[in-house]
């Protein structure tokens, strides 16, 4: 049976927001808590949370999950200000050597469905692909699954980039997974994004009550 690791990227500085977005609350839980809980409930075999900006504060919200049955590691990325690629590398350094692939999950995508994470794993486990990327209405989103065979390529990345260069370079080994999960493209970069998300959740709550 193949093992899969989830790497939650939560080291960013939230430069377009006045506060640390990982700690914004939705229905009484911070975004980092929501994302970690979804990763725990998925088919991932281990979870690695990469911290940087405000790490001491965010760590407190993650540590309560350390006693779960699923292995959870907290990693500090001292180079987080140099861009996203440094967090990808920090996460991979902590990955289990038996892991066949890594699913890179953004901490600012609380709407992502557990089923979507599982589907990425299912696609990879049934093919010989190098990358699995979700597609929502023609838009590529996140999380992105990367096979172990490309880990060394990730260590060559520099700056504020994720898997995009690998997707272009290894296009023949990419499987695009169609999904109806809005969460793969709904990230929270501004207070306007957050306000829209809160409004959407309140409307959904009212529908649930009705």
Tokens representing residue 59 in the block? 């760590």
- The span from the CA of 28 to the CA of 145, in Å, is 29
Query: CATH for 3-209?
Result: 3.90.550.10
pLDDT score, position 167: 95
Q: Are 46 and 5 in contact (CB under 8 A)?
A: yes
| Count of C-beta atoms within a 10 Å radius of residue 71 | 13
Listed by start position, the domains of the chain span 3-209
3-state secondary structure of 83: coil
pLDDT score, position 1: 57
Per-residue 3-state assignment (H helix, E strand, C coil) for 162-199: CCHHHHHHCHHHEEEEECCCHHHCCCCCCHHHHHHHHH
3-state secondary structure of 42: coil
Q: Are 48 and 75 in contact (CB under 8 A)?
A: yes
pLDDT score, position 194: 78
Predicted TM-score (pTM) of the model is 0.91
Q: Are 53 and 27 in contact (CB under 8 A)?
A: no
For the chain, give the mean pLDDT.
90
Q: Of 2-6, 72-76, 151-155, which range is least confident?
A: 2-6
For residue 15, which phi and psi values (nearest 5 degrees)? -65, -25
Contacts of 94 (CB under 8 A, 6+ apart): 48, 73, 75
Residue % of the chain over a pLDDT of 70? 91
- 55: alpha, beta or left, given left = phi > 0 and alpha = psi -120 to 50? alpha
- The span from the CA of 193 to the CA of 93, in Å, is 32
* pLDDT category of residue 207 using cuts at 50, 70 and 90: very low
């Amino acid at each position: 049976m193949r093992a899969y690791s989830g790497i939650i990227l939560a080291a960013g500085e939230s430069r377009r927001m006045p506060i640390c977005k990982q700690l914004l609350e939705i229905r009484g839980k911070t975004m980092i808590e929501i994302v970690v809980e979804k990763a725990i409930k998925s088919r991932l075999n281990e979870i690695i949370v990469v911290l940087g900006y405000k790490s001491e504060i965010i760590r407190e919200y993650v540590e309560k999950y350390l006693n779960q049955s699923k292995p959870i590691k907290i990693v500090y990325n001292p180079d987080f200000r140099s861009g996203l690629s440094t967090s990808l590398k920090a996460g991979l350094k902590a990955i289990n050597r038996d892991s066949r692939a890594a699913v890179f999950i953004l901490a600012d995508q609380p709407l992502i469905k557990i089923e979507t994470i599982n589907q990425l794993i299912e696609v990879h486990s049934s093919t010989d692909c190098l990358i699995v990327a979700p597609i929502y209405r023609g838009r590529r989103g996140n999380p992105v699954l990367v096979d172990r065979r490309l880990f060394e390529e990730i260590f060559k990345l520099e700056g504020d980039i994720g898997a995009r260069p690998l997707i272009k370079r290894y296009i023949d080994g990419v499987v695009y997974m169609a999904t109806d999960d809005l969460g793969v493209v709904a990230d929270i970069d501004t207070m306007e994004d957050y306000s829209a998300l809160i409004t959407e959740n309140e409307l959904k709550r009212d529908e649930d009550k009705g």
